[in-house]
């Protein structure tokens, strides 16, 4: 069974499939997916055959052993690093001699960050700090949203553990509502992607990502 969503977006085909191991129905947007979880995947005879073949092919190989790692460390670290040798540095310098860049690139190279057209008053750095400070609280917020909605997608009513917590109003525009439970909803992965794409298309030239 295929459900097609057409809301001015590219088509998303969400398929209902039956797991080959536990016979449980699940929703996916991958045509090649055969199992509802990794647990069932590892139980399948197909996976066991593939694992046996990989083990036979890698038998006797020294890759990823401690001796192999130590040999790489001695070969490429410290004084043995080729890029740190004087003759290699000279070759790199000679290679770059005479290269000419366009006036546009040269202007950007010597341009202060606050005068660069791509500079947004450190918005990216501020956003990263804001997210890192709220990381543990957002994890708790996400669990509360899923429990409140009983792990049900609020768009297609899919129920399962493969769901995500979504902010109704984006955190970039409304940071004060980042931990507000009324600003959260549970969505499955396909519905979450559709909502995100639609939000970007409706915004003017992606203003959501260019908040100063």
Going by C-alpha positions, the residue among 166, 163, 191 that lies closest to residue 177 is 166
Extents of the domains making up the chain: 1-61, 142-210
Which residues are within 8 A (CB) of 63 and not within 5 positions of it... i.e. 6 or more apart? none
Mean pLDDT score across all residues of the chain:
78
More confident residue, 13 or 18: 18
Residue 27 CB-density burial (10 A; 0-12 exposed, 13-18 middle, 19+ buried): buried
pLDDT band at 127, cuts 50/70/90? confident
Q: Is the pTM of this model over 0.85?
A: no
Residue 9 confidence (pLDDT) above 70: no
Tokens of 68: 């192999």
pLDDT band at 11, cuts 50/70/90? very low
pLDDT of amino acid 63: 64
Residue 206 confidence (pLDDT) above 70: no
Residue 6 confidence (pLDDT) above 50: no
Per DSSP (E only), the strands in the chain are 2-5, 12-18, 25-28, 163-167, 184-188
């Amino acid at each position: 069974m295929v459900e097609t969503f057409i809301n001015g977006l590219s088509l998303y085909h969400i398929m209902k499939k039956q797991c080959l191991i536990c016979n449980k129905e699940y929703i996916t947007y991958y045509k090649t997916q055969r199992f509802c979880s990794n647990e069932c995947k590892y139980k399948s005879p197909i996976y066991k055959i593939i694992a046996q073949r990989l083990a036979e092919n890698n038998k006797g190989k020294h890759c990823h052993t401690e001796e192999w790692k130590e040999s790489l460390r001695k070969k490429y670290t410290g004084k043995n690093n080729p890029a740190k040798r004087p003759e290699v540095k000279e070759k790199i310098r000679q290679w770059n001699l005479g290269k000419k860049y366009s006036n546009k690139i040269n202007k950007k190279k010597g341009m202060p960050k606050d005068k660069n057209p791509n500079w947004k008053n450190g918005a990216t750095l501020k956003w990263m700090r804001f997210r890192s400070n709220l990381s543990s609280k957002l994890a708790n917020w996400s669990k509360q949203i899923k429990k409140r909605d009983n792990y049900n997608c609020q768009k297609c009513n899919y129920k399962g553990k493969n769901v995500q917590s979504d902010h109704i109003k984006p955190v970039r525009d409304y940071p004060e509502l980042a931990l507000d439970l009324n600003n959260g909803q549970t969505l499955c992965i396909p519905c979450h992607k559709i909502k995100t794409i639609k939000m970007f298309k409706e915004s003017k030239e992606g203003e959501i990502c260019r908040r100063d």
